[in-house]
Structure 1
Amino acid sequence: MTDTAPAAAPRLTDLVRSAPLSFLGTVTRVGGTSLAALPAEARNERTAVVRVDQVLHAPAAFRQLGGSEVTVQLATDAELLKVGDTAAFFTRGMVYGEGLGVAEVGRLPADAVRQHVSLAATTADELPFSSVQREIRDQDLAAHAAEADAVVVATVVGLEDLGLAEYSEHDPHWWRATLDVSLVESGGAAPGPTTVLYPASGDIRWRAVPKPTPGQLGLWLLHATGGELAARAPYRLLHPEDYQPAQRLAVLRERR
């Protein structure tokens, strides 16, 4: 399906990257807040209570903020606001308890995002900036693939615990996966079987790294193995993005 979303301006893309929460809002109060957790010295002309008119992008827990009021600590380099002003606010969390307090990362005029709001109402997108977030994910995939030593489409045909000695709680607990490579998109890999190391540990340092499963087909972004581990397998998985559904190959090719 073709994405008909309007192209995101670089400024908008940068703001969505840097701010976990954005919304269209109207200022209802300046210089005060009901948030007890906000220090008294912070309650000044750079503190505004804003009614959330529409959430633009947000983590799942904050997608139902529409109609509620949040306290916004305005950025030090941003223009001051007055009651009745509307804008698109880009924020990160600051205080969460009896209410929500956020710190402003950036701001755009409300008219600058109206096209995204209008289009979202006619598509299956849950939020107006869903298309911007897809664009960011696609950009990140292309950038990460460019840094990989091999990019292949392959199926997992074998898994093996290397049984290496472990001496700390952060040890990766290396396993070796055998991949049957059906397509080489880039790099020095060859069609047929190749082996890849991956950390099976659930430690926070390794938790997000892909853990191959038997029969798993996908797009694999592989990194050359160095040091003593190079004798165990030519490649390894190191990043959360190193596994992608095979269909993402089409996106990657569009970006090259």
Structure 2
Amino acid sequence: MTDTAPAAASAAAPRLTELVRSASLSFLGTVTRIAGTSLPFLSAEAVNERTAVVRVDQVLHAPPAFRQLGGSEITVQLSPDEDLLKVGDTAAFFTRGMVYGEGLGVTEVGRLPADAVRSHVALAATTADELPFSSVQREIRDQDLAAHAGQADAVVVATVVGLEDLGLPDYSEHAPHWWRATLDVSLAESGSATPGRTTVLYPSSGDVRWSRVPKPVPGQLGLWLLHATEGDLAARAPYRLLDPDDYQPAQKLAVLRERR
């Protein structure tokens, strides 16, 4: 008998990456009811042939709070783009839009045959503290990092050697409160920067708009993705930090080079 699992996994690989990117929770599951629900607040009138109760056989990827769902039943609103299911069907479900309270409800964004993810399940079984799609999520993060680096005006390996508050007036509680960091650039990987010292603006504010933008600290060595400063601030420093991914461990340079 020919083993179709490797072929199924290979054919599904691009689709798998797309689904993991778009879903917040995925799992291998078995349908236990059709046109039913595990949610006590959902009336019978609200369910139809695309409302299924699915037993979670194995979590594939999930936020930390939902990693222990194995064995539980959840309500899945099936995607209109996927085939209808019957009781006993097993598949890899990709979902989002969770309703959590007395039970869990999700909306399906896509589905793959169970065989298409078996290799990921087998690999995770040999790796401590890993979910089956952890490697897919890492690959997605690396792809996103490479794309973000391609939009940066300079990518450098540098150490923070100085910080100063620019003392600019804050006109609202959401103001960025710009500080300036001095970087000692040891490697200019791409863009307009050169080895030596350069300066970078960054928002020191903890406001929700700015809180995730990197906040340099003295002595910090890393990979910096820098964006050209525009407008009146350009006289203060040639670059600024704007995105949560603008600082990375220096080892991430290898990731960027692999994806050129």
Q: TM-score, normalising length from structure 2?
A: 0.93
Paired residues for 1:96-135 under 5 Å: 96-124=100-128, 126-135=130-139
Check if 1:155 corresponds to 2:185.
Answer: no
C-alpha distance in structure 2 between counterparts of 1:108 and 1:116, whole Å: 13
1:64-113 Cα distance to aligned partner (Å, 9 max, x none): 11111111011122111111000000000331101110000100000110
Asked whether the 8 Å contact 2:24–2:95 carries over to 1, the reply is yes
Q: Which position in structure 1 is the counterpart of 2:6?
A: none
C-alpha distance in structure 1 between counterparts of 2:37 and 2:101, whole Å: 13
| RMSD of aligned alpha carbons | 1.3
Q: Which of 175, 180, 183 is residue 184 of structure 2 equivalent to?
A: 180
Paired residues for 1:203-214 under 5 Å: 203-214=207-218
Counterpart secondary structure, 1:17: helix
Asked whether the 8 Å contact 2:38–2:74 carries over to 1, the reply is no
C-alpha distance in structure 2 between counterparts of 1:107 and 1:223, whole Å: 39
How far residue 41 of structure 1 moved from its aligned partner, in angstroms, is: 4.0
Check if 1:62 corresponds to 2:66.
Answer: yes
Counterpart secondary structure, 2:250: coil
How far residue 125 of structure 1 moved from its aligned partner, in angstroms, is: 5.5
C-alpha distance in structure 2 between counterparts of 1:39 and 1:175, whole Å: 55
How far residue 61 of structure 1 moved from its aligned partner, in angstroms, is: 0.6
Counterpart secondary structure, 1:113: helix
Deviates further, 167-176 or 15-24: 167-176
C-alpha distance in structure 1 between counterparts of 2:232 and 2:16, whole Å: 45
Q: Which position in structure 1 is the counterpart of 2:3?
A: none
Q: Which of 82, 91, 103 is residue 78 of structure 1 equivalent to?
A: 82
How far residue 190 of structure 1 moved from its aligned partner, in angstroms, is: 1.1
Counterpart secondary structure, 1:9: helix
Q: Identity across aligned pairs (percent)? A: 85
Name the count of aligned residue pairs.
251
Counterpart of 2:126, as a letter, is T
Q: Which position in structure 1 is the counterpart of 2:243?
A: 239
Counterpart secondary structure, 1:181: strand
Structure 1 gap ranges (5+)? 1-5
C-alpha distance in structure 2 between counterparts of 1:15 and 1:81, whole Å: 19
Structure 2 gap ranges (5+)? 1-8
C-alpha distance in structure 2 between counterparts of 1:153 and 1:71, whole Å: 48
C-alpha distance in structure 2 between counterparts of 1:23 and 1:85, whole Å: 14
Q: Which position in structure 2 is the counterpart of 1:49?
A: 53
C-alpha distance in structure 2 between counterparts of 1:125 and 1:131, whole Å: 12
Q: Which of 29, 33, 44 is residue 33 of structure 2 equivalent to?
A: 29
Asked whether the 8 Å contact 1:37–1:95 carries over to 2, the reply is no
